[in-house]
Amino acid sequence: MKIFNVTDESYNDEIENYNGTVLIDFFADWCTPCKMLSPIIEDVAWKTGGRVKVCKVNVENEKKLADKFGIMSIPTLIVMENGKIKNRSIGVTGKKAIMDMLE
């Protein structure tokens, strides 16, 4: 399944106005834990089969979005449902924990 790269400009269309569940991965290219989490996020995107929209936000390029969500550490995962925050996880986590967040 597709993983969407979200920018400040595309945030409203991709996340805020999306009716459904969205998993947002806040990351940076230089972040080793983020690199460790990336294949897990890809697997979650595939396993959810489009039931969950999976998005990535590069905090280095999208500082406004990082500030909007109060991102202080990366990786941070946020689950949103119909534009509202439902769950948050900081640090590397396993696929089962992420899937549980999405329930």
Please state, in angstroms and rounded to a whole number, the distance separating the CA atoms of residues 72 and 18: 25
> Catalytic residue at 55?
no
Choosing from 15, 23, 34, 102, which is the catalytic residue?
34
Q: Which of 15, 24, 31, 65 is catalytic?
A: 31
The DSSP annotation for 74-100 comes to SSEEEEEETTEEEEEEES---HHHHHH
The question of whether 34 is a catalytic residue gets the answer: yes
Distance CA 29, CA 31 (A): 6
Catalytic residues: 31, 34
